[in-house]
Structure 1
């Protein structure tokens, strides 16, 4: 596999707190890379730097061979990088179908209040996208009437409507009930892999990480302290103690 995204020497501090302390990471094409670590380790900071919401104080970010360090979020989206947030960013007063159409219009850069939102081409594409996520039966339901698992899927569907080659997800299972969690991730993993989208996701549920990640990067105090396949990383005693919360006794 070849690298789609490369971060080299990323540094960013907030006062005396080092949120990124020399991050080096290559994200391979078509992989699912999980980022794990304790709260405050710098995981979301990394996503924010890659997607243009934060500008690193040092280092570079390269995507498809071109440097994107410090570019604005809209420009980064146009280059093929999308993200979803810990809290779904849906338009609550609109239906699921309208939310998808809004994302499609945004991708084309032609939406305005004077253009019909559900024009036929957008409606057809929106419904096809929702069908892939299993959301078509809910197309006419308002976003604020969805449960948390379905809201997460709808939010990620909006990101996929942008037709990214790289999708970064900040805690895609946050707030999702235990009974829904695996089904939600199963659906999004299937859709993303079928579309050939590379995924980076921050996750606290180690069962999700073990089942869906190709590689795992462990963050601690703004640094990557371990990187490798899930079976190796999740069996590491330091990771078990400091990230998972398992203390081994002799």
Structure 2
């Protein structure tokens, strides 16, 4: 696999808190890379630096061999990087279809009042997108009436509407009922793999990580404590003790 995203020497501090302390990381084309670690370790800061919401005090980030550090978020999206947020960024008073249509229109470079977005071509593409995520039955539901799982999937679907090559997801299962988590992640992994999208996701549920991640990067105090295949990293004694909080035993039954 070739390198799609490369970060070198990233440093970022907020006062005495080091969000990035010399981060070096390559994301490989086609992989699903999980980022795990305690709160405050710098995981979300890495996503924010990669997508242009934060600028590191030192270091570099390249996407497909081209530097992207310093570009605004919209230009980074145009390069082929999209993201979803820990708190879904939906317009609650509008329907799921309208939210999806806005994302489709944004990819086309068209911004307009909401009522103009349901043009036939945007509606058709938005409906196809929702169908791929199993959300078409909810197309006419208001976004603020959805449960958290559907909200998360809708938010990720809107990111996929931008047709990224790389998608960064910040805690895609946070707030989702335990009974829904695996089905939701199975859906998004299926859609992303079919679309050929590389994914990086911050996650606290180790069952989700063990089942779906190709590789795992462990963040600790702004540094990468461990990086490698999921099975190998999740069995590392130091990772299990310091990050996962267990000494022994399988992560999955």
TM-score (norm 2): 0.96
Q: Which runs of 5+ in 1 are unaligned?
A: none
Task: Look up the match of 2:116.
Answer: 116
Task: Look up the match of 2:251.
Answer: none
Question: 2: CA distance between counterparts of 1:210 and 1:60?
Answer: 30
* Counterparts of residues 171-210 of structure 1 (less than 5 Å): 171-210=171-210
Task: Look up the match of 1:10.
Answer: 10
- In the superposition, relative to structure 1, how do residues 74 and 192 fare at CA in structure 2: closer, same or farther (>3 Å)? same
The 4+ residue runs of structure 1 with deviation greater than 4 A are none
Task: Look up the match of 1:136.
Answer: 136
Task: Compute the displacement of 1:247 (Å).
Answer: 3.4
Question: 1: CA distance between counterparts of 2:56 and 2:30?
Answer: 26
RMSD: 1.2
- In the superposition, relative to structure 1, how do residues 78 and 157 fare at CA in structure 2: closer, same or farther (>3 Å)? same
* Counterparts of residues 201-240 of structure 1 (less than 5 Å): 201-240=201-240
How many residue pairs get aligned? The number is: 249
Partner deviation per Cα, 1:25-58 (whole Å, 9 max, x = no partner): 0000010000000111000000000000000100
Task: Look up the match of 2:52.
Answer: 52
Q: Which runs of 5+ in 2 are unaligned?
A: 249-253
Task: Compute the displacement of 1:114 (Å).
Answer: 8.1
Task: Look up the match of 1:149.
Answer: 149
- In the superposition, relative to structure 1, how do residues 25 and 89 fare at CA in structure 2: closer, same or farther (>3 Å)? same
Task: Look up the match of 2:22.
Answer: 22
Task: Look up the match of 2:91.
Answer: 91
Higher mean alpha-carbon deviation, 239-248 vs 192-201, is at: 239-248
DSSP-derived class of the 1:91 partner: coil
